Amino acid sequence: MARLRTELQRHEYLYYVLDQPEISDAAYDAMMGRLKELEALRPDLIAPDSPTQRVGGKPREGFVKVAHSSALLSLDNAYNEDELADFDRRVRELTDLSEVEYVCELKLDGLSMAVHYSEGRLARAVTRGDGQVGEDVTENARTIRSLPLKLREPALRAVEVRGEVIMTNAEFERLNRERAEQNLPQFANPRNSAAGSIRILEPWITASRRLDYSAYQLFFDGSPAAELHWEALEKLVALGFRVNPNRRLCRGLGGAREFIREWEHKRESLAYEIDGVVVKVNSIALQLQLGTTAKAPRWAIAYKYAAEQASTTVLDIGVQVGRTGMLTPVAHLEPVQVGGVTVSRATLHNEDEIARLGLQVGDRVLIERSGDVIPKVVRVEAPGEDRRPFVMPSHCPICGTAVVRQPGEVAWRCVNTNCPARLKESILHFSGRRVMNIDGLGEALVDQLVDRGLVKSVADLYDLRLEQLAELERMGEKSASNLLRNIGASRSAPLARLIHALGISFVGERTASILAEHFGSLDRLAGAPQEELEQAEEVGPRVAQAIRHFFDQPRNRELVERLRSAGLRFEEGPATRGRGERRAPLAGMTFVLTGKLERMAREEAAAKIEAAGGKVTNTVSKKTRYVVAGAEAGSKLDKARELGVEVIGEADLVRLLGSRE
């Protein structure tokens, strides 16, 4: 087993880091299969860094926040050579040098992530977050084949590596082709795809996305690992990390300019997206001398390449309707090549942006595409001969409902929750884990339900029958039965979740909880005048007006009545049983969940606590009644002990919930 592990790790390094495979895929698969056979015979000998252990089994319930060892700062930007020269001047003045040695590296367009190793083995991976605190994505990071689970050289000290998670253009295109075949929404660009993939709760999905990791900074015991940044990059290579080979040691500003100009023309040949070049002072001593501002280091700057632009004609302006009902104007363009991509549409954001541009249909415009993001109109270059103004429709182009624009907003919205353009996204929102928690309602199934006319409103979910679902693609009686059971279970979801599920503008999870606690029933909330709504904590005029407008719409009142008839909970507190009400056993108790539970997911535990009248929060305070601690409980457990809050296990929680039965 040890020999197989070593060989497989070597071949992973050759294939995923050096791009120099020595054996065929079939030979690699055979070796991996043999190791799996042996590990099945002796699970007690499975090593944590075994190549078979990259993908975990169970999906997580969420991501834990983790403080970085030191700030993971962003970079200041230079958008032209004058700004780059200003950076060089400041560095030379602060260091009292006539010329500074720089390291130039391509600026990969991905997601920053810090990776920690203990005794040479991968221990934790944390996203950049706000630079001070990120999210623990270790299980997902383990699936990245170019990220070593075990360092290639012995490491007696704690090792921290910082780098970029990216997705290649080829993988991005493959992923979008698969999603198109499955009638799933496509990703906008490789960066967003990589960032979303590293934060998926199911590691096996992350593994299927084939992400890469490119390292750019190395620490030993929290300190820089070398006297020169270039040496640190070489050490990263020796430890087994992929380090972008397109880098150069440059003498002064002239060398940096030469590298930047070279790659501005060569970047289209790369297999991945870049949006510029990072210029760093090579000497670590000088880096420490230069220090940092509150937001960025003074010893590095990102030179950003200009966005790619082209001129074309606006043939028409249409309107798209999103899940929240927001109407977004979209320019339909005469097709034009921008950076090797044919562009035929560009976002216009809102009515005010069109007015600011002075844009009309028929105008010649300059469009811009930065990286692979949705193109936008920069300016009108020449008015069209037969130009005509765009007029925002007074009614939704899909369902015909009158659109509204709230004071202080730039967007017009369709307020009809049953609008077909909104319906699919509304159903996905309604059934989400943190909303009504209807497991099994994925995008493909929702598409079928809406396209076949089985669901024309979220309320129709509660009228679905077994025979209707069983005949859908990829369903069958067992899956249909499970889905119906989950839909039925959502009837007991707490009032706060129902308020959140309605999709009222500006009413998210927290505001929904505040409204449920303040008003106590959906009927009181629906009938409250705006002045009374504003008396609720954190509810200002804009939110209150949105709530009032929602419940004033006849179609939304009809939806509420249908949900009432379906048996959903309209009252805060204990659910009713039989003919009389019974006080919930957890009424008035506040819980905090931490660590991994064995019998149920944390979302499921939270839902059961709320259904039993309890309240679940994320912060331990003196008002907390119980902290439920599972395996690998973190700082919340320490806080509970510090405050003297009672800590219970999952079995204790099950017993508390059992009294509800």
- CA distances, 212 to each of 52, 270, 373 (Å): 18, 14, 20
Q: Choose the CATH number for 431-492 among 3.40.50.620, 3.40.640.10, 3.40.50.300, 1.10.150.20.
A: 1.10.150.20
pLDDT at residue number 584: 60
Lowest mean pLDDT among 217-226, 309-318, 637-646: 637-646
pLDDT at residue number 574: 46
CATH number assigned to the domain covering 77-304: 3.30.470.30
pLDDT at residue number 261: 93
pLDDT at residue number 535: 87
Helix axes of 541-552 and 554-565: crossing angle, nearest 10 degrees: 80
User: How far, in Å, CA of 357 to CA of 382, rounded?
Assistant: 12
Instruction: State the average pLDDT over residues 72-98.
Output: 92
* DSSP string across 92-126: HHHHT-S--EEEEEEEE-SEEEEEEEETTEEEEEE
pLDDT at residue number 580: 34
User: How far, in Å, CA of 331 to CA of 315, rounded?
Assistant: 8
Nearest to 250 by CA among 230, 236, 266, 232: 230
**Topology match between the domains 431-492 and 495-565:** yes
pLDDT at residue number 373: 55
pLDDT at residue number 13: 82
Write the pLDDT tens digit of every residue in 16-69: 777 677 887 677 878 888 998 898 899 889 888 888 887 654 445 557 888 898
Q: What topology is assigned to 495-565 in CATH?
A: DNA polymerase; domain 1 (1.10.150)
* Confidence tier at 579 by pLDDT (50, 70, 90): very low
CB 439, CB 417: distance < 8 Å: no
Structure tokens at 404: 């509204």
pLDDT at residue number 660: 42
Nearest to 125 by CA among 115, 133, 140: 115
pLDDT at residue number 264: 85
Instruction: State the average pLDDT over residues 157-182.
Output: 85
Tell me if residue 135 falls in helix, strand or coil: strand
CB 111, CB 128: distance < 8 Å: yes
Write down the pTM of the prediction: 0.51
Q: Give the type of residue at 126.
A: V
Lowest mean pLDDT among 84-98, 121-135, 230-244, 331-345: 331-345
* Confidence tier at 301 by pLDDT (50, 70, 90): very high
Buried b (16+ CB within 10 A) or exposed e, 483-496: bbebbeebebbbbb
CATH number assigned to the domain covering 2-53: 1.10.287.610
The superfamily in CATH containing domain 308-382 is Nucleic acid-binding proteins (2.40.50.140)
Instruction: State the average pLDDT over residues 318-342.
Output: 84
User: How far, in Å, CA of 276 to CA of 527, rounded?
Assistant: 55
pLDDT at residue number 661: 40
CATH 3.40.50.10190 assigned to domain 580-658? The reply is yes
Sign of CA dihedral 236, 239, 245, 251: positive
- For the ranges 175-189, 544-558, 613-627, 643-657, the maximum mean pLDDT occurs at 544-558
Catalytic residues: 107
User: How far, in Å, CA of 439 to CA of 56, rounded?
Assistant: 21
pLDDT at residue number 372: 44
* DSSP string across 510-538: HHHHHHHHHH-BHHHHHH--HHHHTTSTT
Burial class (CB in 10 A: 0-12, 13-18, 19+), 435: buried
Write the pLDDT tens digit of every residue in 177-203: 777 666 566 676 788 888 888 888 778
What's the chain's average pLDDT? 86
Write the pLDDT tens digit of every residue in 476-511: 888 899 899 999 989 989 999 999 999 887 788 778
Say yes or no to pLDDT of 601 above 80.
no
Domain boundaries in the chain?
2-53, 77-304, 308-382, 431-492, 495-565, 580-658
Lowest mean pLDDT among 297-311, 378-392, 403-417, 427-441: 403-417
